[in-house]
Structure 1
Amino acid sequence: MSVQIFYDIAVFRIPAKALDTPEDVYGLCFLSGDSRTYTHSGQRERRWTCPIVGFYDDVIAHQLTWVNYQVYWKTNGASGATRDFQWLAKIRKSLDTATEVGSLSVDFVGMQVGDLSVEPHRRCKGMTIREAISNSMALRSDPKTAGDSDWDALRILGPGSN
């Protein structure tokens, strides 16, 4: 059986005034890999992803859907499974200590957040960060696509990926 293993969490926060939104916007990023996916050199493959960009409550609601699945934190196997309340505590702590992004950063096609590089990806390619985030939030508020993730909106590159 294959499981998703999480190695790191990073969150960026864009102040509401920078995006002209009613609340701050958060980007939840994970360094993760599948237990059965390896690189050509035999290392377990790891990559950064951003499954959700939205208001604080949007991110928590998105993660509540994840607690229906087992989450493995840095280990593989039942002993490494993180309990629901532990996972949500990690997410809340990460949101509460998010790295703030300057308002000028959102008007470019890429931004640096600590050690992470963030840029529009696939369905948002060619957009600015502001446009990509607005696009994702609009799609998620549409009843036809409500609850969708933002996997294809932002590409995240950073340490630990291979």
Structure 2
Amino acid sequence: MKYSVILFVLLYCTWGISPIKGMPPEPTVDENVIESQLSLEPTIAPVDEGDEDVQGCETEDGFIPIGRTVNKKPCKQCTCNADGRLNCNETVCPKLNCVDFKDVEDECCPICPNGENCYTPNNVILKAGEVITESGLQCKCKFSEDNLEEPTAHCSEKAEVAALDDI
């Protein structure tokens, strides 16, 4: 008797076979139920009324929440407005008083790594404040006050270059 109970438990629990009832019946499939489940229209999951919609700006780089500012380029910063649009501003770099400026990676504006300088008429780079003699003339960097002109050396007779120091 003891072994028959163990055999019954093993057969029934492992394979679902009852020594009394035999093999379990094959499951039946109701085609109508399957067909009705397949033809269900998609439904939208209910939204919890306590949750607020997350709002922001959709960009090619992803989603940006309202009020967040991101750098699109080193010189372009964009802020997501409440209306879902990006408001972008580009930095305008100042004109540099040098002719050998360098672009710096991940920086917006170039720099003058060697300080202020200019070209002489013979394309020699002259540091600001220095005087060089070329073709019998003395040359010194002259920078325009409005920085609209390219930094160039002013070359003239010795007395005129000395007068530039007073300006």
TM-score under structure 2 length normalisation: 0.20
TM normalised by structure 1 equals: 0.20
Comparing both structures, which one devotes a greater share of its residues to helix? 1
Greater Rg, structure 1 or structure 2?
Answer: 2
